[in-house]
Structure formats: structure tokens, C-alpha cells
Structure 1
Amino acid sequence: MSERTLVQNLAALEDGPVTVAGWVETVRDQKKVQFLVLRDESGAVQLVRPRPEGDDDTSRIISGLALGSFVRVDGELKHDERVKLGGIEVRIGALEVTGASLPESPIAEDTSIDKRLDWRWLDLRRPEHNLIFRIQTTFEHALRTYWVERGFIEIHTPKLMASPSESRAELFQVPYFETTAYLAQSPQHFKQMAQSAGFGKIFEIGPAFRADPSFTSRHATEFVSIDAEISWVDSHEDVMRMHEELLVAALTAVKDRHGDEIEKAFGVSVTVPALPFPRIPLAEAKQIVADRGYVVPRADEDMDPEGERRIAAYVKETYGHEFVFLTDYASSIRPFYHMRHADDQGLTNSYDLIFNGVEISTGAQREHRIDVLEAQARDMGLDVEELGSYLDFFRYGVPPHGGFGMGLSRVIMLLLGLPSIREVTYLFRGPNRLKP
């Protein structure tokens, strides 16, 4: 069997024998000639076959082809500038149907997102969706390259836990032999354990789970979390510096490799952000949006999504930047393990990173002193005994450290200007979606 050539590589070949394989996107079945458009994972090409008098087996197969069927074709490559699709075509010699499709597709271009998700494997055949996951691959590879080149260790933390990784809210419970396990909300505990282990700098890209009943465009019950943790930090500023350098490296790779394709498919120009990213203390950010006519309507001291959009708009106008670190969050709205300011216990060494108006990450310097950590847990009303296995990490010495967690799908969604993480998640999981 001849080795197939990807469509994207055909233009560089000389005229002559070639084998292509993919699925049938269109069929034009004319009296004297038959045309197919075949698409594979790299692009589309026109196939052509003159129709013989009285038809033959191949012409009858082409006439009966359902769109979406997978075929393999041996033929002759011919360069012809008159062919609108890339200036090349393949003249069909032999055609084999390797996977026939049902004749009627259950989805179309204007089908709703919910129904398209029901038939996700068909929805993913769209070229722009293929591109999304190539962009995601480039993005993740650039993250790993940045980390590995700087001596980070990649870890894979367990997703079954004996106790909550964050809080008792939004937990999935799983029967586990004679006891109950919890699906990890984040790798937080085990990232910090690596600091006690002396690993220094670590990262993980892996699944996380939140039993969150939200139906917003940016929430999922299972998502891919991008996490890093580093030792010997002086403050959250060290974490922010690593975080912004990491994103610049990733966005540079995406722009270099896919910038033109993204512009064509999504009408978005990828911007590589300047360093450093703007930094605004949260209290100052809330005052800025208040001065611009929006008072954040929350009982606590947090920012809300509209406030995030407005401070992002201010930053774009003022600094020409798509990113902003909101820093120094109140301790009342942060986890007990965030380090508090030495001179103001009401504030933490923490941040949220906003990208194009939406929060994509939370980071912080962690509290590494066991006595302070226990006291902060009690202040938050937590049971120190229940946190025993976590607190044990700190009883034998831990260096000053900090890190962040960031949602992969949110970043890709915002990068491409898409309306929902459903579009950029391979198989989305939400409160009412467990299939396919």
C-alpha cells in the first residue's frame, strides 16, 4: 500500500503518482466529470475523474458517496493554476471507501452549540476546530519548553484524594472501597509538598474537578489546570515575573506558528504582550472602576466579572495591554495558605491575572511557617485536625515558596475571541453533560 501524503505537502511535490486519504467534504457529480473535495487533518484538495461512457465501478462509488465518508485515493498529482483550491488537483486512479458515512449529517453550520457537542466528533472535523487543538498543542509545548529549559521538574499529582484540596465546597465525592475519596479540585497540596521535598521548581498540566453548578461560558466541572510552584521566593512578585515570562513565551510560539491561520479563521491578531505586565492593587482597581462609574456590588472585598472587564478596558486604554495583575487581595477572601502582608494582616501576597477582561489565574506566595499556617486556618474556621496530612508537609521544614493555577481552556478561548470554553474543550463536562 502506498504511503499517503498529507494535503499540506502536496503543493511542494512535482506532478506524478500520489496517495491521499481523508474524508469527503463535497461531491460534484457531473455528466462528463466527477469532482470531490477531500479533507485530511492538514487541509483540503480537489480530486477529479473524467466519467467514462456507461459508468464503471469507481464512478458509481463516487456517485453514491455520502459526505463525511473516509476514502483512500491513488492518483496523479497535477499543478494547475486554474484550480481555485490551492492550484493543484489529484486525478483519481483508484478509490477505496475505508469508512462509509450515513447519508444525512445530524449537524450543520448553524446547529446550536449544545447539539454540536452531542456530535462532537463530527463538529471537530471543521478546519477551525482542528486549528484550535493545534494551537493548544503549540501553547502547551511552549509552556513545557520554558519550564524545562529553566530546570523545572514535571510532576503528576493524584486526582483521588482523602481530603479536600481546597475547601469542602464544590467537591465530587467518589466511593473508594470502604471509604470516600474526593476528586482533586487542584494539585495545590501536592505542589507544596514538592517544595518540602526540595524539588525547587515544579509544574503540572492535568485535570481538575469542581462540582460547580454554573452554566456560564467559562466554567466546567472538569478542566485542564496549568500549575507551577517555585521555592525561594521573596514575594508574589517572583511568581508574577515567572508567570508573565511564561505567557510571553507561549504566545510568541502561537503567533509565530499559527498567527496567519488565526487571523484568517477567527479574525484575531495574536498580540505578544510587553513585559512587565501592568500590576494594580485590588483596592486601587476597585477605585478606578468606581471613578469610571461602576461600583462593584459585592458584600465582600472581591472583584466581580463586570469589574474585571472594566479594569481590563482601563488597562487597554492606558497601557495598551491585554493583561493585568490585580494584586494584594484581602485575606478574608483568600485561602488560609496565602501569606499575609507583614505590615497588614488584612492583605495577602496574592494576585489574579486578567486576560482580555476575564480572570484566568490565581497566584500567591504561600505561608510556609507551620505556626502561622495553623493560626490562619483557625482564623478561617477550618479544622486543623482535618488538615493534618497537609500540615505535615510543613513540620519538617519548607522554603519560602509560591505559585499559580491557570485554566487552559479559558486562555485559549480568550486568545481566539470565542464565546465559550465549550468551543475550545475537546470534550466538555458541565452540570448536564457527561457524554460523549
Structure 2
Amino acid sequence: MENTGKNSVLDQLRLFGASDVGKKVEFDARLHAITENEDTLTLLMRDTECFAMVIPSRSEGNHSQAYTVESVIRVFGVLIDCGKQPFGVEGDGRVMTVHAMTLTVLSRAAPNLTETMHHSAPKPANQSIIDLVSSLTLQERLNNRVLDVRVASTAAIFKIFSGALELAAEFCLTNGFHWTHTPGLINYKIPYDNDYFPLPYFDRELAWLTQTGEVHLQMAMSMDFMRLFEIRNVFRAEKEINKRRLTEFTIFETVVAWERDWTEITDLAESFLVFVIRGLQEREKYEDAIRAAKRLHSSAGLFKLGLDEQGKLPRLQYSEAKELLRKRFSAKTGDLDDMTPEQEANLGALMRTTPAKGPPTDAFIITNYPARHRAFQIHPSPPSASGEPTPGTNSFDIIAHGREICTGYQHIHDYTMLRDTMRARDPVGFDPDSPMWRPYVGAFEAGVHPHGGFAFGMNRVVQTFLGLEDVHEACMFPRNANRISP
């Protein structure tokens, strides 16, 4: 059969019916399990989430000791059945039966490979892979990540991750953005931020791994690029290990020159999220992955976008969100206090059931965060009607399933205002003319368009869309303070 680049067994199962019995078939698959009776050897082969029962010819059956579970084997034979079989395997039960004329071991797996990760070859046969996956701790799964991701329900997470990145790029490339890449090694550091990973740079100076491309994206605005985006991994030296954070994660980041008002940034971030979520939910190419993910995560894909008549997500000002927390949850929190993970979770639960604004939703927007909880270059909110300065900023977060997945803002673009803000920054001001900051500030001295940007943590987007309990599940090889392997 011609190789289309798709799963060969899956393709044949979909294309073949009863009228195809007797046709010759050829495919590569993993050996999932071996059953040997007195006179019959049966190999259960697996290709992602689909299965084939392979009955070797007598000559091939004599070499049964050469076959080990998880080996990759090329099967050439004759289709003898396309029906469903009552095997305790992951999938919907579609199993074709093939009489094998030749079996070629392309890659032999070590014997007893699955003893530590037995869900790859379930025993007894009536126990499903999903039950066995669920019985393993996340740490056990991460320690055996290769075998873990061979399970279709786990592999589906990363197919959806790929889909989210594809849709992110599609949104930008059809909306006038240019794709760029900013440095991963940087020589600047916020004085009061201790979450950078330092490293010596050729024994000449100290450098750090970047936490964001924001600084260089802003500098590119001075080059007269009106819309830029990038997708990259960034690093934060997070010492706390929890279900929300990683020390290395994938970020989708933009910078945009707005035309009339900074709220265009909020609208654009909202449109991006709607595009990605609806694309994953509605496009046929992601249906199989979502269906496979549901076997482990029942809420996978059931993301609710509670849009109003204008197609907008609910918006709350920061002070409104704090008032809701005090009123509905008796939270002891002030309007200028930071938003805690517990408070985000409470607001998320409220907006899913009895929202303060608009229809029930899994995602909503909080605007006007206090300056003390935003980066130094975020533009302050305009003065009040009486002319008094306000503590807020022209910024927002998108909260989904009770966790922040996006931050957006208007940047300060005025050269003098930026310098003054850097010097006056609380708790530690810093020198805009220092060697590490002079290139950044110099870009504004040359003149920069009014602009802003937003950034999505793509691991959290996928975590939220699939209803994963822990963000570590949304990273193929996650890193935290205790994990730098595999």
C-alpha cells in the first residue's frame, strides 16, 4: 500500500470492508502482545490507537522467540477479517485480522521492557490500558516517558499541542503578522527578579536564559515592523513545584502597533483564543486526537467560550474581580493585592456557573491590573475624571479554567516616560543608561510607534483545552526544580 504519511493500520481499517477480505496488505506496527496456544501463535499489533491481529504462517510462527513486545515489525500478508474483536485494548475495538506470509523485525525491543510501564501491554487482556495508565502516578509516567507517550491517549495531548501551534501561526500569518525569532541568551536582567537562569558567557561576562522575547520584540518595533510574533521556549527558575508552573515552557508572543486605542490588543488576544479553540474543536484533522484524549480526560475539547452578542468574552476590571471575591467567597483581599492562584480558581468556577457578566464561560478577561504586579514598561491607566493618578495599568489577563493563560498590555513608547519609569520602579529602580539597558532604551530614543502585545503560555492553553490536572502532562519532556530528565 502506498505510504501516505498517516498511520498505515488506521488508513487500512478505514478504507477496507468485508469486500476487501483476501487482499494483500503491508504495514509497520508495534508488537503489543503475544498469545500462544498449543498450535496457534497470534500477535496483536498496534499502530497508535488501532490494532491488528496477525496470525503468522507456520514457518514464521516457528521463530516466536525472536518477537518481543514493543518491537517494530513489518507485516506482509492477506486480510482475512475486518470485524471488531473483544480485546482489552485502547481504541474503539476495530481490529483487522491478517494472515502473515512474512514478518520482518525492523527494530527489536529489549525483553521485559514493559515491566515498569505495564500499561503498554495490558495484562490481563480484559483490563483496559486506560485503567492501567490511571493507576500510575504522573512521576512514574514521566520517568518512562517514551513508553507513556506510546499510549494513544497520551500521544493525543501532543498532537493537540501541535495543532494549537499550527493554528496560532495560521492566525498571525493571515492577520498581517511577520514571524520572527528573538535571542534566547540575554545580557539584561530586572534587578529585583531572581527567577533567571545565569550562565557564564565565554568567561567574559554573565548572561541569562530569557524569560520572554518582549524586550527584543519591542526593539523591533523601532525597525518599523507593525506586527510581529514568535513561538519559542522560555525559562524561569521557579523553585516551587506545582501543577501550574514549569521551568521551561512554550510561549506564543506578539507585539502590535495599535491604530486608535490600546484595547485593540485585548480584542486581538481574544480573537486569537477564539480562533485556536474553535479550530481545535471544529476541524476534522483534530477529531481523532480529541477522541483519544477523552479516554483519559473526559472533558477534553469541551471548552466553553461564553461570548456575548458582540462576540466578546466577559470582561472584569481588577477592582471588580476583587469585589466579587470578597462578596462571593469572603476573601480577605484588597483592590491592590496580587491575584492568587486560589482566587483565580474561584473566579473561574464562578464564571463557569453563575457569571457576573455574560453567559457561562470557561474563559474571561480581567483588565487594569495594578502597576505593582506588572512589568516596568507597562503603560499606566489614564488619570481619573478628577485628574488624580490611578494605580492601574493598561493591561489584562485571560483566565481559563481558573488559571491565567495569557497576559497582554500597552507598552510605554515615550522615551522620557520610559526612562523615568525605570528609575522610579518599586521596589528597586534601575539605570536606563547602564550598558545592559542602553540598547533597549536607545530603540525608544530613535522613536517607536504606540504599541502593545500579548503572550499565551501554550502548555497552559493545551492543559486547559484538554482538562489536564497538571501542566507537566502538557509538556513532552517537562522540567521543574527537581526534574531535568529524561
* Matched-pair contact (CA < 8 Å) for 1:286–1:296: no
* Matched-pair contact (CA < 8 Å) for 1:225–1:406: yes
Matched residues in 2 for 1:369 and 1:376: separation?
11
In the alignment, is residue 398 of structure 1 matched against residue 454 of structure 2? no
SS for the counterpart of 1:347 is: coil
In the alignment, is residue 23 of structure 1 matched against residue 30 of structure 2? yes
Matched residues in 2 for 1:308 and 1:173: separation?
31
1:39 paired residue number: 46
1:295 to 331, 336, 340: 331
Q: What code does the residue aligned with 2:430 have?
A: L
2:79 paired residue number: 77
In the alignment, is residue 409 of structure 1 matched against residue 459 of structure 2? yes
Shift of 1:161: 0.8
* Matched-pair contact (CA < 8 Å) for 1:164–1:185: no
2:106 paired residue number: 98
Q: Deviations over 1:214-265 (max 9, x none)?
A: 2011111111111011102544421111111111111112112325444445
Q: Deviations over 1:376-405 (max 9, x none)?
A: 111212222232221111111111111112
1:49 paired residue number: 55
1:231 paired residue number: 257
* Matched-pair contact (CA < 8 Å) for 1:165–1:184: no
1:430 paired residue number: 480
Q: What code does the residue aligned with 2:141 have?
A: R
In the alignment, is residue 271 of structure 1 matched against residue 303 of structure 2? yes
Matched residues in 2 for 1:20 and 1:165: separation?
55
Q: What code does the residue aligned with 1:59 have?
A: G
1:325 paired residue number: 365
Shift of 1:64: 5.0
Q: 1:411 to 1:214 in 2, by over 3 A?
A: same
**The 10-residue stretch of structure 1 (311-320 or 179-188) with the greater mean CA deviation from structure 2:** 311-320
Matched residues in 2 for 1:404 and 1:392: separation?
23
Matched residues in 2 for 1:116 and 1:348: separation?
42
Shift of 1:197: 1.1
Q: 1:48 to 1:40 in 2, by over 3 A?
A: closer
* Matched-pair contact (CA < 8 Å) for 1:29–1:63: no
* Matched-pair contact (CA < 8 Å) for 1:165–1:186: no
In the alignment, is residue 86 of structure 1 matched against residue 94 of structure 2? yes
Structure 1 stretches lacking a partner, 5+ long:
none
* Matched-pair contact (CA < 8 Å) for 2:42–2:53: yes
1:282 to 297, 318, 340: 318
Matched residues in 2 for 1:266 and 1:357: separation?
17
2:117 paired residue number: 107
Q: 1:418 to 1:350 in 2, by over 3 A?
A: same
Structure 2 stretches lacking a partner, 5+ long:
87-92, 119-132, 384-388
Q: What code does the residue aligned with 1:396 have?
A: A
2:89 paired residue number: none
**The 10-residue stretch of structure 1 (86-95 or 353-362) with the greater mean CA deviation from structure 2:** 86-95
Shift of 1:157: 0.8
Q: 1:95 to 1:34 in 2, by over 3 A?
A: same
* Matched-pair contact (CA < 8 Å) for 1:227–1:404: yes
- What is the TM-score with the length of structure 2 in the denominator? 0.83
2:402 to 346, 357, 369: 357
In the alignment, is residue 340 of structure 1 matched against residue 372 of structure 2? no
Written as runs of structure 1 = structure 2, the 5 A alignment for 1:143-182 is: 143-164=168-189, 168-177=193-202, 178-182=204-208
Q: What code does the residue aligned with 2:471 have?
A: I
Shift of 1:211: 1.0
Q: Deviations over 1:73-111 (max 9, x none)?
A: 111124433535315222211111222222222223333
SS for the counterpart of 1:266 is: coil
SS for the counterpart of 2:329 is: coil
SS for the counterpart of 2:63 is: helix
Count of paired positions: 431
Shift of 1:66: 2.3
Q: 1:102 to 1:293 in 2, by over 3 A?
A: same
- What is the TM-score with the length of structure 1 in the denominator? 0.93
1:120 paired residue number: 145
Structure with more strand by fraction: 1
1:9 to 11, 32, 36: 11
SS for the counterpart of 1:223 is: strand
Matched residues in 1 for 2:318 and 2:256: separation?
24
Q: 1:261 to 1:114 in 2, by over 3 A?
A: closer
